[in-house]
Chains A and B, each alone.
Chain A
Amino acid sequence: MSTHEAHGTYTPTTGIGKWIDARMPLPRMMYDSFVAYPVPRNLNYAYTFGGILSLMLVSQIITGVVLAMHYVASTGMAFTSVESIMRDVNHGWLLRYMHSNGASFFFVAVYLHMFRGMYYGSYKAPRELLWILGCIIYLLMMATGFMGYVLPWGQMSFWGATVITGFFTAFPLVGEWVQQLLLGGYAVGDPTLNRFFSLHYLLPFMIAGVVVLHVWALHVTGQTNPTGIEVKSKTDTVAFTPYATIKDAFAMMVFFAVFAYFIFYLPNFLGHPDNYIEADPLVTPAHIVPEWYFLPFYAMLRAITFNVGPIDSKLGGVLVMFGSIALLFVMPWLDTSKVRSAVYRPWYKLFFWIFVADAIFLGWLGSKPAEGLYTSLAQIATLYYFAFFLIILPVLGLIETPRRLPNSITEAVLARSKKSGAQQVGSGAAASPEVRG
């Protein structure tokens, strides 16, 4: 029951249905993937963010395509064209606030999705490729988000672009060449804005492509679940439709309600006031800060204030920043534990929650100036971030005694519902991680 073919119950009834099915069975594939597809019966709300993310991608692409109809990618016109969208285009303010806040909520959802994967061990065999494809999507999202932030051509757009492309000069030999390739010159200017616009339009479609691979890989291995035990029998699963569909739809609407609250009532809460000042290469803002979703990495970059042998602090900071993302890719091989779910790993559970707190703390530090106590705290927090992957994950798997695992998903479900008696509803949320960004 692990591949598409294995659970095919699609039987076309109409003549045209049979005709299509014999030639190009797309309806069969959709039916098998989103109707008959078996999902574990014990999935909680932490498992709804995949669906939410695909909806966010669609929303971003639709609003983005319309915004691109009104946007002018030139240093003289970019800021003005965005303002004309805000003032004169019909519902332009709505499109733009949906798109700019949509980027933030895309990242909210992806971080919750990733933390869920880490908590329930979704990256472990046989789902390593599924996890890596997810990491690639995340990397593409970061590139898209960064380039999108440059387009309104405000002060933070310009100076953020200047600082981030400047990272590449830290690399010996190729650094300057890479930077000039990104900028299309020696400084951020018209060529930079034009290529960023082009790539900002391209990358979401690449994301969509990798999402297809991500979902394909998911449908080969099947989903994990809060117990971390593989599906063993038919009683362990329910059909995607209606069970997962209705649960996902409810979660999506709740997520959209929070999203709408920001669009309509706090549309500039997650942005920086300086980005309402047109870019000026002659005036440097007092504090250059990236968007909130990059702040943890920014904090780690700035935490390296010392030289290590031939590596100066600048290169060191950049290596630490890229390294912190690279570690995600190799996470499946760093974790030595055979048990997937943190529910049965008391020590991992503790270190995981410290890791979540550490990441949020790093985000806060990233918004503070890099001086005095903040730098020392950032160094400690960076140390924990790396220790979590490089020491805690490998060592814990060898020394930790996991709790007794149930024999099957069904057994776990029945044991829990027996314990909680008549109170069925809401029991699924008991094991769900409460992560708030």
Chain B
Amino acid sequence: MKHIIATIGAAALAMTLVLPGANAQEEAAGAAQEGTVHYPLKHPVEQEWSFAGPFGKYDKAQLQRGLKVYTEVCAACHSLNRVAFRDLADLGYSEEQVKAFAANYEVQDGPNADGEMFTRAGLPTDYFPSPYENPEQAKVANGGAVPPDFSLIAKARGVERGFPRFVFDVFTQYAEGGPDYIYSLLTGYGEEPPANVTVPEGTHYNPHFAAGVSLAMAQPLYGEDVTYDDGTPATIEQEAHDVAAFQMWAAEPHLTERKEMGFRVMVFLVLFSVFLYLAKKQVWSRIEH
């Protein structure tokens, strides 16, 4: 099998095709994985989320706080390509507020009638602009690692749960592996690496990182990085929690709608099953079987 992957891997590398928007390249700085060491060194810490469970829904105040953390801290390096300003209406903002928010951004448009590209203020129909022109620029600015896009990251990260936990997860409806991972990573900096771990130069030790001992991103949150409009104390835990919830919303904007519909569907299917069972019992009572 290893041979197959090696051959194919080499063939694929030979391809010079670089996909546009292949921005999710992991900052796998400590990629020198050796032997059977499994990452992350520490499992994610499970958190309480308003959107967990059968009746879970997004907490709009929390999403607004998460948006603030994203725009004031993360957005310096991380794009949010698949989210449009109009989507922010989901966070409880009015049409005017969304318009004003969008207008804070400059976006490129064109070409105009003279064939020139021009910049204008953002409109609700525009998407969040990327902090970098292209992945190459992002790479150069970040020590060789492209900061991943945030649109889907809450669903694109998840530490394997292992047997038997994945069986219990079916019954507990555990589906928050992504946000738990993000929270743990953001609050997981600052520990001294153990003596037997060598941290590659220019990278930062974090036992919660899924692809190695350390990553290219330095600790992004320390607490008091933003001032929340609703007066919530901006501890590092609060900020990490809020931005992880915001990322979950960005990745799965219809989650609340999905769970609400799910409840109605489940009630229908269970009731219909009961009626069908009673009908079946009635029909089969005519005969021994």
Using a CB–CB cutoff of 8 Å, the interface residues on chain A facing chain B are: 41-42, 75-76, 79-80, 83, 86-87, 93-94, 97, 155, 162-163, 166-167, 169-170, 186-189, 238, 242-243, 246-247, 249-250, 253-254, 256-257, 260-261, 263-269, 273-274, 276-284, 286, 288, 301-302, 313-314, 317, 364, 369-372, 413-414, 417, 424-425, 427-428
Contact = CB atoms under 8 A, between A and B. Distances in A.
Given A247-B284, A253-B276, A279-B22, 17 more contacts: A76-B20, A162-B8, A187-B15, A246-B279, A250-B273, A250-B280, A254-B273, A256-B269, A264-B259, A264-B263, A281-B12, A283-B26, A284-B9, A364-B163, A369-B36, A372-B36, A413-B289
Given A250-B277, A263-B262, A277-B156, A238 B287 contact: yes
Contact of A260 (B21, B157, B269): B269
B74 to A, nearest CB: 18
Given A242-B283, A261-B266, A280-B22, A87 B173 contact: no
A260 B266 contact: yes
B4 A314 contact: yes
Given A250-B277, A280-B24, A163 B4 contact: yes
B170 interface: yes
Interface string B138-156: 0000000000100110011
Contacts of B2: 370
A21 B288 CA distance: 36
A274 B156 contact: yes
Contacts of B170: 266, 269
B152 A277 contact: yes
B8 A414 contact: no
B269 A257 contact: yes
Interface in B121-174: 148, 151-152, 155-158, 163, 169-170, 173
B32 interface: no
Interface stretch (B63-71, B224-232, B250-258): B250-258
B175 A269 contact: yes
B117 interface: no
B175 A280 contact: no
Question: A interface, by DSSP: helix, strand, loop or mixed?
Answer: helix
A301 B5 CA distance: 13
B175 A282 contact: no
Contact of B8 (A166, A260, A273, A282): A166
A83 B19 contact: no
A41 B256 CA distance: 46
B170 to A, nearest CB: 7
B30 interface: no
A82 to B, nearest CB: 11
Contacts of B94: none
Contacts of A94: 258, 261
Nearest to A285: B26
A250 B19 contact: no
Contacts of B259: 264-265
Nearest to B157: A273
Nearest to B9: A284
Contacts of B169: 266, 269
Contact of B24 (A42, A86, A278): A278
Interface of B: 1-5, 7-9, 11-15, 17-26, 33, 36, 54, 82, 87, 148, 151-152, 155-158, 163, 169-170, 173, 175, 177-178, 211, 251, 253-254, 258-259, 261-263, 265-266, 269-270, 272-273, 276-277, 279-281, 283-285, 287-289
Contact of A247 (B151, B280, B288): B280
Contacts of B178: 273
Contact of A317 (B1, B87, B152, B175): B1
29 contacts: A41-B287, A75-B19, A83-B151, A83-B152, A155-B24, A166-B7, A169-B7, A187-B15, A189-B15, A243-B284, A246-B276, A250-B273, A253-B272, A264-B263, A265-B173, A266-B173, A267-B175, A268-B155, A268-B175, A273-B158, A273-B178, A276-B251, A277-B24, A277-B152, A279-B19, A280-B25, A286-B211, A317-B1, A417-B288
A424 B253 CA distance: 50
A8 to B, nearest CB: 23
A425 B280 CA distance: 10
A356 B287 CA distance: 33
A75 B25 CA distance: 17
A94 B269 CA distance: 17
A93 B254 contact: yes
Contacts of B285: 424
A424 B2 CA distance: 57
Contacts of B288: 41, 413-414, 417, 424
A277 B154 CA distance: 11
Contact of B82 (A87, A187, A414): A87
Nearest to A425: B281
B265 A264 contact: yes
B8 to A, nearest CB: 5
Nearest to B258: A264
A269 B18 CA distance: 30
A424 B272 CA distance: 23
Choose among A280, A371, A414 the residue with the greatest number of B CB atoms under 10 Å from its CB. Answer: A280
A81 to B, nearest CB: 12
Contacts of A264: 258-259, 261-263, 265-266
A336 B179 CA distance: 55
Given A93-B258, A163-B8, A280-B22, A266 B175 contact: yes
A87 B90 CA distance: 12
A188 B15 CA distance: 10
B215 to A, nearest CB: 14
Choose among B1, B20, B21 the residue with the greatest number of A CB atoms under 10 Å from its CB. Answer: B1
Contacts of B253: 87
Nearest to B152: A276
Contacts of A41: 287-289
A235 to B, nearest CB: 10
